[in-house]
Amino acid sequence: MLLVISGSFSAHMANSDGFVVVKKGKRRRPRPNRDCVSSSAKVFDCNESDHDIDFGRVKEKIHFYRDELKCSEFYTNVQEQLKQCYLTVYQERRKQDSENRCDPDLDDVERDVAGLSLNDCPTNTTLPPDMECVCYGVGNISGNIISQYQLALVLALREDFKLNQDRCFMFDPVFTEGEKQTLQDLHFSIIPVNEEGKRRCHGPALFFLPHCGKALYNNLLWCNWHLQTLSNIVIIGNSFKAMVERTPQRLLKETGLYIMKIQEYTVEIPLSQTFHHSDIFNDMAIHYFPLHRLTSAPGELWEAHDAPVYSQHDAEIILS
């Protein structure tokens, strides 16, 4: 089967489900979600309440986009890049584990923080089996084609890497009840509170923050501001390098201090830009924090780490 989808086809599917609806009176134009980046991809149905949405159709589209992604060069690259990065994380971790075992000064907790055991070597089709997968800020999956493709990517990765469904979480404050139900139907757990990205990891974790504001990445880094913990985390999201280069220093200190601090110790692998919709995975990269880089940082980097404070006006984050 040839899986080709064009912008107009997806827009047609989304708008009319095969029917042309003619309404009398003033024509309502779909308003773009104001939390979303401006985009040339079609944004549709944003204003409709759950009541008007066919969530069965939404699920169909997401499965369709997942299948389409799986056939793409873009997806093959992402899979390869993730495998490579987890192999590096694993190898470093293994080395660290054996050093820790011989270190009489470490207590059990410090040994445990390592997270990956010798049996957990990532293979061609698996990432660490106990890995948590957390997605923040995917947006309105019922009305935004960008969000649907982004969700489809997580779905595809979860399937192909055999991630534990019970450990796959989603949160966006804009989710409607219908969207939450749809995500649950797709076997994602909805995080019940707005963590503002402050999620402490106790083992390997993959975060997906597609096109999210700096504050969300910043909080995540701050909350895991420890050598052992950070080295267990992989973040797919906006390029830290680009954020640091493009944001004036004063502003970055306010909204992205921890991004600024960690950037030089981060390995950043840009997502390939081969996907045919250019505004879904643009400006994104896989980020990880290899131990050998983190240990080369001066000790002060880890010492003072005050909780970030944002003014709702400046920060691109919805606070709890």
Structure tokens at 225: 């501001």
Part in contact with ligand SAM (CB under 6 A); list of ranges 137-145, 153-161, 181-189, 294-302: 137-145
User: For residues 41 and 279, is the Cβ–Cβ distance under 8 A?
Assistant: yes
Report if residue 35 touches ligand SAM, rule: CB under 6 A. yes
- Residue 195 C-beta: closest distance to ligand SAM, Å: 7
| Beta bridge pairs of residue 288 | 234, 267
- Residue 38 C-beta: closest distance to ligand SAM, Å: 9
**DSSP per-residue string spanning 182-224:** HHHHTT-EEPSS--TT----SS-EEEEETT--HHHHHHHHHHT
- Residue 175 C-beta: closest distance to ligand SAM, Å: 8
Q: Which residue, 114 or 280, has its beta carbon nearer to ligand SAM?
A: 280
- Residue 277 C-beta: closest distance to ligand SAM, Å: 11
CB within 8 Å of 112: residues ≥ 6 apart: none
Part in contact with ligand SAM (CB under 6 A); list of ranges 89-97, 136-144, 258-266, 298-306: 136-144
Q: Which residue, 90 or 207, has its beta carbon nearer to ligand SAM?
A: 207
Q: Tell how far CA 56 is from the center of its chain.
A: 24
Part in contact with ligand SAM (CB under 6 A); list of ranges 12-20, 34-42, 72-80, 257-265: 34-42
- From residue 284 to residue 313, what is the string marking binding to ligand SAM with x (rule CB under 6 A)? ------------------------------
Report if residue 314 touches ligand SAM, rule: CB under 6 A. no
Report if residue 146 touches ligand SAM, rule: CB under 6 A. yes
Q: Which residue, 113 or 151, has its beta carbon nearer to ligand SAM?
A: 151
- Residue 256 C-beta: closest distance to ligand SAM, Å: 15
What phi and psi values does residue 106 have, to the nearest 5 degrees?
-90, 140
Residues between 171 and 230 that touch ligand SAM (CB under 6 A): 171-174, 194, 196, 210-212, 216
CB within 8 Å of 138: residues ≥ 6 apart: 147, 150, 151, 154, 170, 172, 208, 210
Q: How many residues bind ligand SAM (CB under 6 A)?
A: 22
Residues between 227 and 286 that touch ligand SAM (CB under 6 A): none
Largest Cα span, the chain: 78
Burial of 194 (0-12, 13-18, 19+ CB in 10 A): middle
- Residue 191 C-beta: closest distance to ligand SAM, Å: 9
Fill in the amino acid letter for 149.
Y
State the pairing for strand pair 233-238/284-288: antiparallel
- Residue 94 C-beta: closest distance to ligand SAM, Å: 33
**DSSP per-residue string spanning 146-183:** HHHHHHHHHHHHHHHTT--GGGEEEE-TT--HHHHHHH
From candidates 127, 138, 183, 201, binder to ligand SAM by CB under 6 A: 138
* Cβ atoms < 10 Å from Cβ of 303: 8
Residues lying near ligand SAM in the complex (CB under 6 A)? 35-37, 136-139, 146-147, 150, 171-174, 194, 196, 210-212, 216, 317-318
